[in-house]
Amino acid sequence: MSHILSLIKKELRELLTPATILPIVIVALLFASLGGLTGGAVEDALTAPPKIAMVNMDDGDFSQIYLDVLADFDDPLVFYSSEESDIEAALAEMKAEGAMATIVIGSDYSSTIENGSRANITIYWNMVGAGMFSSMSTAPVDMMIINVSTQTTHKLIESGMPGEDSGIITSPISYESTTFLGDKELVGVGPAEVSAFLQGQSFMMPLLIMIVIVMLGGIIISSMGQEKENKTLETLLTLPVSRTTIVSGKLIGSAIVGLIFAGVYMLGMNYYMEGLMSMAQDMELAELKLGITETAIVGLMVALAILCALGLCMILGAFAKNYKAAQSLTIPISFLAVIPFFVVMFTDFVNLPLMAQVVLFIIPFTHPMMAMNNMIMGNYELVYYGIAYLVAFNLATVMVTVRLYKSDILLTGLATTLSGGPLGRLMRKR
Amino acid sequence: MDALVVRDFHKSYGKHVGVDGISFNVKHGEIFGLIGPNGAGKTTTLRVLSTLLTVTSGDLVVYGKSVVKEPNEVRRIISYLPEDAGAYKNLTGRQYLDFIASFFANGEDRRKMVVRGIEISGLNERIDSKVDTYSKGMTRRLLISRAIMTNPRFAILDEVTSGLDVVNASEIRQIIKEMARSGVTILLSSHNMFEVEHLCDRVALINKGKIVAEGTPSDLKRRYNTTNLEDVFTKVVKG
Ligand SMILES: Nc1ncnc2c1ncn2[C@@H]1O[C@H](COP(=O)(O)OP(=O)(O)OP(=O)(O)O)[C@@H](O)[C@H]1O
Ligand SMILES: [Mg+2]
């Protein structure tokens, strides 16, 4: 019995080191903050009151129902007019106010319903993001239309003028959609369709980036760990080359591996993308396809992000005393890749609170992941800032890495180096 | 001319002192031995000299180049054999030697360097097996040949023959002697007093990070009135 106890004790002491505990703590903290982030986005989407602009050219009873339904909310109309010539103004106001939609009701609306036909309205949707929950921002308006439709049915039955067609009585309203996405106007397409298409297109790229970064991180950090475990590092560092050359050699070597990875995945993805693209050709969504310039920009950002990942791995790898420590060090890198992936998938950068935006912006992998959507939305500024940030980040990591390679940390580990430095003195004072 | 000048060199690992202020000189073409008990500071000195670690204070100057100010220059002059080094497991012995040679020579010179390395290694046909399949002694010979084949001006060898059998060790000692005769300066550490006595022109005995005795082996034996270095070692360390 005491044998197994001492074995268990030894195992725990080997496994529960700061190097293994820290990543887990980080992961837990990340989960907590991630939950807050996406949870908030979903809740907002579902409970927000409808905020709309309206052009109502009908002076009959039935269009009044819209106003009655809206009256239940606190000031939901950002614009109201009964003049057809005001539609442009209504759309402008909708965008300026960040309203969800503009509802346009024709002058024959009430008479059409009274005649036992189905009345048609036009809804201009203002899509403010491209994430999975962005289409949800239309939910309050959808709910409102359903509400109006139900009340219209009641009114029809109560007033004893039901037409012959029961289908029309239970569903007296239909609508046509036009969606505004960034600076694009997509006639005849609803937000749900746009969202579905964008997801197909913008889901794969972040997924690809995430997979490549996670795998690459593992490889680089482990290779650093192995150099130490196999005792090849000392020889390498005494060869007649500068530290910068060694760091660059490692970076470029692993970058090639990373690009090969990315290439292989891209090849597989190509097939999937082709299917999507042909779908876009059939629909009014063709406008959402990325052009050559945009594709090149995304490619550049992916390459820069891979370099950032490598730089981070080199820095973390410097602290990996051996293979085991190296493996737990890959966890933070993986999480840096997973967080923006989920955020980009579920919600949208522009819709997030400032704090979350700052955090996401700092994570370099966010930028290529959201580049596609940003360009579709016309947010080129965010794309260019992203590229600038990625370049700066890369320069910084190379500088830090070279410094680390010049210090003792590589060979003596973090604890020894720190205990002599200002940080170590600080910690000892506690 | 002095090949190496060590001036009041200190090295601390955090608050732990590894080397506590040592000074010595090594002359050109000399074989200089560092001896001392475990944890005395031998490896620390050799690592700092090889530019792997930074000094805490003081300086080490190799052929006029300071490890503090010109580490890149120092690396061009030296060749360092760590006390327990390894080689890349996925390479064959030949590939490993060629990898190292590529940093020191080109074309025909590089090819000749590898041929010389293979000769020193004594691995014969096993030179084309993966390093992964080598025994401890075989790996050690590969690494020794790597350190020697590059014709360094200054070779730093930490426990050079540790792990080698009697025959292999004596062969390597022979090679080291020849190197010194051809003008290479050698600084080595060893726990084998027989080896030190036969190989080294001069010896420094380090204890607890300080040099406690220095001189030729015969000097030291005379001074401590013994017949071999082992007794000198014991007397000095045990006080
Ligand atoms: N990475 C390290 N972190 C902290 N202390 C270290 C480190 N490396 C060496 N030391 C300390 O420095 C001192 C000198 O060690 P060093 O390795 O130079 O001894 P040595 O003379 O080579 O011993 P040996 O004969 O056992 O190889 C020892 O007290 C050791 O504990
Ligand atoms: Mg040692």
Could you read off the pLDDT of B186-239 as tens digits, one per residue? 999 999 999 999 999 999 999 999 999 999 999 999 999 999 999 999 998 887
CATH code of residue B164: 3.40.50.300
| A296 and A163, same domain (yes or no) | no
B133 falls within a domain: no
Say if residue A268 is exposed, middle or buried (CB neighbours under 10 Å; 0-12, 13-18, 19+).
Answer: exposed
Q: Whose CA is nearest to atom 5 of ligand 1?
A: B13
Atom of ligand 1 nearest to the CA of B41: 18
The tokens for B64 are 């006029």
B173 falls within a domain: yes
pLDDT at B212: 95
**Mind telling me how many Å the CA of A404 is from chain B's nearest CA?**
12
CB contact under 8 A, A235 and B54: no
* Cβ(A337)–Cβ(A214) below 8 Å: yes
Beta strands in A313-425 (DSSP E): none
- Asked if B76 is an interface residue toward chain A (Cβ–Cβ < 8 A), one would say yes
Give the DSSP H/E element, type plus range, for residue A202.
Answer: helix A191-229
Residue B195 CB coordination number (10 Å): 22
Residues in contact with ligand 1 (CB, 6 Å cut-off):
A 412, 416; B 13, 16, 18, 36, 38-44, 83
The tokens for A122 are 């036009």
Mutation to test the B interface, candidates A227, A229, A230, A232, most B Cβ within 10 Å: A232
State the amino acid at position A106 in one-letter form. G
**Mind telling me how many Å the CA of A417 is from chain B's nearest CA?**
6
A9 falls within a domain: no
- Give me the total of CB pairs closer than 8 Å, taking one residue from chain A and one from chain B: 67
How many whole angstroms separate alpha carbon B210 and alpha carbon B220? Answer: 17
Mean pLDDT over the full length of chain A: 79
CB contact under 8 A, B15 and A230: no
Instruction: Starting at the earlier edge strand, list the strands of the sheet with B185-189.
Output: B78-81, B154-158, B185-189, B31-35, B202-207, B210-215
| A304 and A347, same domain (yes or no) | yes
How many whole angstroms separate alpha carbon B227 and alpha carbon B129? Answer: 45
- Asked if A418 is an interface residue toward chain B (Cβ–Cβ < 8 A), one would say yes
A8 falls within a domain: no
How many whole angstroms separate alpha carbon B1 and alpha carbon A285? Answer: 81
**pLDDT for residue A426 is more than 50:** no
Q: Identify the band that residue B152 occupies on the pLDDT scale cut at 50, 70 and 90.
A: very high
Q: If you average pLDDT over residues A78-93, what whole number do you get? A: 88
Last residue of a domain, one of A188, A204, A221: A188
- pLDDT tens profile A231-253: 888 998 999 888 888 888 887 88
Q: Could you tell me which residues come within 8 angstroms of residue B198 by beta carbon, excluding any fewer than 6 positions away? A: B173
Task: Compare A305 and A4 and report the one with higher pLDDT.
Answer: A305
Q: Show contacts of A258-266: CB within 8 Å, 24+ apart.
A: A258/A212, A258/A216, A258/A306, A258/A309, A258/A310, A259/A303, A259/A306, A261/A212, A261/A215, A261/A216, A262/A208, A262/A212, A262/A302, A262/A306, A265/A208, A265/A211, A265/A212, A266/A208
Last residue of a domain, one of A188, A205, A228: A188
pLDDT at A34: 62
CB contact under 8 A, A231 and B85: yes
CATH code of residue A105: 3.40.1710.10
- pLDDT tens profile B87-133: 998 899 999 999 999 999 999 999 999 999 999 999 999 999 999 99
| A297 and A392, same domain (yes or no) | yes
Mutation to test the A interface, candidates B15, B46, B110, most A Cβ within 10 Å: B15
Say if residue A409 is exposed, middle or buried (CB neighbours under 10 Å; 0-12, 13-18, 19+).
Answer: middle
Q: Whose CA is nearest to atom 16 of ligand 1?
A: B41
Query: What pairing do the DSSP bridges indicate for beta strands B154-158 and B185-189?
Result: parallel
- Asked if A422 is an interface residue toward chain B (Cβ–Cβ < 8 A), one would say no
Mutating to test ligand 1, I would choose from B9, B11, B34, B42 the residue with most ligand atoms within 8 A of its C-beta, which is B42
* Cβ(B97)–Cβ(B114) below 8 Å: yes
Task: Compare A416 and B218 and report the one with higher pLDDT.
Answer: B218
State the amino acid at position A310 in one-letter form. L
Q: Identify the band that residue A77 occupies on the pLDDT scale cut at 50, 70 and 90.
A: confident
CB contact under 8 A, B88 and A231: no
A36 falls within a domain: no
pLDDT at A425: 45
Q: Could you tell me which residues come within 8 angstroms of residue B127 by beta carbon, excluding any fewer than 6 positions away? A: B92, B93, B94, B97, B118, B121
Mutation to test the B interface, candidates A230, A238, A402, most B Cβ within 10 Å: A238
Q: Show contacts of A359-362: CB within 8 Å, 24+ apart.
A: A359/A33, A361/A385, A361/A386, A361/A389
Mutating to test ligand 1, I would choose from B12, B13, B55, B188 the residue with most ligand atoms within 8 A of its C-beta, which is B13
Beta strands in A134-289 (DSSP E): 173-181, 184-187
Q: State whether residue B76 is helix, strand or coil.
A: helix
Query: Cα–chain-centroid distance for residue B101?
Result: 19
How many whole angstroms separate alpha carbon A5 and alpha carbon B118? Answer: 50
Q: Is the dihedral of CA B182, B186, B190, B193 positive or negative?
A: positive
Mean pLDDT over the full length of chain B: 93
Say if residue A307 is exposed, middle or buried (CB neighbours under 10 Å; 0-12, 13-18, 19+).
Answer: buried
Query: What pairing do the DSSP bridges indicate for beta strands A101-105 and A52-56?
Result: parallel
CB contact under 8 A, B80 and A238: yes
Which range is most confident: A135-144, A147-156, A218-227, B113-122?
A: B113-122
The count of domains in chain B is 1
- pLDDT tens profile A152-205: 988 888 887 766 677 788 888 888 888 888 777 888 888 877 777 777 666 777
**pLDDT for residue A266 is more than 90:** no
Residue A383 CB coordination number (10 Å): 21
The count of domains in chain A is 2
**pLDDT for residue B172 is more than 70:** yes
How many whole angstroms separate alpha carbon A221 and alpha carbon B3? Answer: 39
B43 CA → ligand 2 middle, Å: 4
A197 falls within a domain: yes
Residue A75 CB coordination number (10 Å): 8
- pLDDT tens profile B24-79: 999 999 999 999 999 999 999 999 999 999 999 999 999 999 999 999 999 999 99
Nearest to B34 by CA among B9, B43, B85: B43
Which residue of chain A has the CA closest to B56?
A420
The CA radius of gyration of chain A, in Å to the nearest whole number, is: 29
CB contact under 8 A, B82 and A412: no
B215 falls within a domain: yes
Query: What pairing do the DSSP bridges indicate for beta strands A173-181 and A119-127?
Result: parallel
Cβ contacts of A235 on chain B, cutoff 8 Å: 80, 82, 85, 87, 100, 143, 146
A230 CA → ligand 2 middle, Å: 17
The tokens for A190 are 């609803």
| A183 and A203, same domain (yes or no) | no
Give the DSSP H/E element, type plus range, for residue A201.
Answer: helix A191-229
How many whole angstroms separate alpha carbon B136 and alpha carbon A418? Answer: 34
A5 falls within a domain: no
Nearest to B86 by CA among B94, B96, B95: B96
Query: What pairing do the DSSP bridges indicate for beta strands A173-181 and A184-187?
Result: antiparallel
Whose structure tokens read 């490890």? B67
Q: State whether residue A156 is helix, strand or coil.
A: helix
pLDDT at A351: 74
pLDDT at A201: 66
CA dihedral A208, A210, A213, A214 (to 10 degrees): -120
Q: If you average pLDDT over residues A414-429, what whole number do you get? A: 51
Task: Compare A394 and A141 and report the one with higher pLDDT.
Answer: A394
In the stretch 6-25 of chain B, residues with CB closer than 8 A to chain A read 12-16
B46 falls within a domain: yes
How many whole angstroms separate alpha carbon A145 and alpha carbon A140? Answer: 9
Last residue of a domain, one of A172, A188, A204: A188
Say if residue A149 is exposed, middle or buried (CB neighbours under 10 Å; 0-12, 13-18, 19+).
Answer: middle
| A176 and A275, same domain (yes or no) | no
Whose structure tokens read 């082992």? B230
Task: Compare A180 and B143 and report the one with higher pLDDT.
Answer: B143
**pLDDT for residue A428 is more than 60:** no
How many whole angstroms separate alpha carbon A270 and alpha carbon A195? Answer: 21
Q: Which range of residues forms the domain containing residue A52?
A: 42-188
**Mind telling me how many Å the CA of B231 is from chain A's nearest CA?**
34
pLDDT at A23: 64
| A388 and A275, same domain (yes or no) | yes
**Among the partner residues B15, B52, B146, nearest to A237 by beta-carbon distance:** B52
| A163 and A215, same domain (yes or no) | no
Q: Which residues pair with B214 in a beta bridge?
A: B204
A30 falls within a domain: no
| A341 and A290, same domain (yes or no) | yes
Least confident of A228-242, A336-350, A367-381: A336-350
Q: Which range of residues forms the domain containing residue B65?
A: 13-84+153-238
Q: If you average pLDDT over residues A102-124, what whole number do you get? A: 89
In the stretch 138-167 of chain B, residues with CB closer than 8 A to chain A read 143, 146
| A166 and A197, same domain (yes or no) | no
Q: If you average pLDDT over residues A26-50, what whole number do you get? A: 64
| A69 and A137, same domain (yes or no) | yes
| A170 and A229, same domain (yes or no) | no
How many whole angstroms separate alpha carbon B40 and alpha carbon B36? Answer: 6
**Percent over 70 (pLDDT), chain A:** 81
pLDDT at A408: 84
State the amino acid at position A409 in one-letter form. I
| A168 and A238, same domain (yes or no) | no
The tokens for B29 are 């073409």
* Cβ(B80)–Cβ(B68) below 8 Å: no
CA dihedral B42, B46, B51, B53 (to 10 degrees): -20
CB contact under 8 A, A230 and B14: no
Interface ipTM: 0.90
Cβ contacts of A407 on chain B, cutoff 8 Å: 54
